[in-house]
Amino acid sequence: MSLRRAVLNFRDVRPVWAIPDRAVAAIRAAFGAGWEVVCVDAPADGRGDGGAAAPEVVEAMRGAEVYLGFGLPREVLRAALEGPAATLRWAHTGTAGVGSLLHPELAEHGVTLTNSAGTMGPPMAESALAMMLHFARGLDVAVRAQAERRWAADDWAACAPARELGGATLAMVGLGGVGRELAVRARALGMRVLAVRRSGTEGPEGVEVRAGEGALGQVLPHADYLALTLPGTAETRGLIGAAELAALPAGAVVVNVGRGEVLDEDALVDALRSGHLRGAGLDVFATEPLPADSPLWTLPNVLITPHVSATSQRFWERESALIVENVGRYLRGETLVNQVIVARGY
């Protein structure tokens, strides 16, 4: 009797993201007898939605039933679906984004796709909160003064850059894993939290949820801080443009840890230059890496991080737990956690 095969493609070139041996052992144990779990040691790339696959991965996928890796390169999919066997049944990506993974072959062959939304929620929420505090407490002013070796106490007295998050209003667009984690942290600091989501009004305790047509317009005028934590889809592309930024109160701060294409960067630059916005904390961009000639690099009220808000030493603690949970569900024929609806795009 031949063994069923699962392939792991998680040996990321970045050490902090590379799967540790303890996680490999836990996943192998979850599959149990009757399974061959192949952990490919060729370098993988989990940046963005995941990179291309090494030839060793493609070869291992021939006849494989399960793929667990960073992203889902088309050549991986084809290797498991070519010919009459079409063995692939479940593919899981160690990324939250799935924009480049929505291949038509998934639906054609009934392949279930899951992602890692939620596993990156805590560090991304903390990154967003750090960006908010950066501007709330005037750390941008402090960093500039430090670079000039200038004791800048008068800057605080003159322009009062320091505020308190307590009592301020945070509006979040997106209430998935990241949004929920950010909401809990913001509420703990005494913030009023408004959230816009695609449908449904359920949210964490104390969060005021708005949904449906007109929801965004309802929250923007109240937002001292606007956090974008939603995925990039056809519906969300360009969602925040000049009109939406103008609807924010003067002195508002925009934070984007979701997807760069959600925010009109030209409109953002205009709003920052005009002084309408206090600042912007950006981890994601329409084009990555951010081009050297982008004005965002030189604006004094912009904080840039290079799409690293999810980085954490604890990623594999949560990721392996998610995979082990889903392996059990898969073997029992149950619905998987974080199942992606391909037609919806997330």
| Residue in the structure block whose two tokens are 């449906």 | 212
109 is catalytic: no
Residue pair 44/70 in contact (Cβ under 8 Å)? The answer is yes
Alpha-carbon distances of 40 from 14, 43, 174, rounded to whole Å = 16, 8, 35
Residue from 75, 288, 317, 334 carrying the catalytic annotation: 288
Alpha-carbon distances of 106 from 10, 42, 91, 109, rounded to whole Å = 21, 25, 9, 6
261 is catalytic: no
Residue from 197, 261, 307, 319 carrying the catalytic annotation: 307
Residue from 259, 265, 278, 319 carrying the catalytic annotation: 259
Long-range contacts made by residues 306-309, C-beta under 8 angstroms, separation at least 24? 307/47, 307/48, 307/283, 308/283, 309/123, 309/124, 309/127, 309/128, 309/257, 309/283
62 is catalytic: no
Q: 35-39 and 66-69: which strand pairing? A: unpaired
Question: How far apart (Å, rounded) are the C-alpha atoms in residues 61 and 250?
Answer: 54
Question: How far apart (Å, rounded) are the C-alpha atoms in residues 3 and 286?
Answer: 44
The encoded tokens of residue 248 equal 């924010």
Catalytic residues: 259, 288, 307
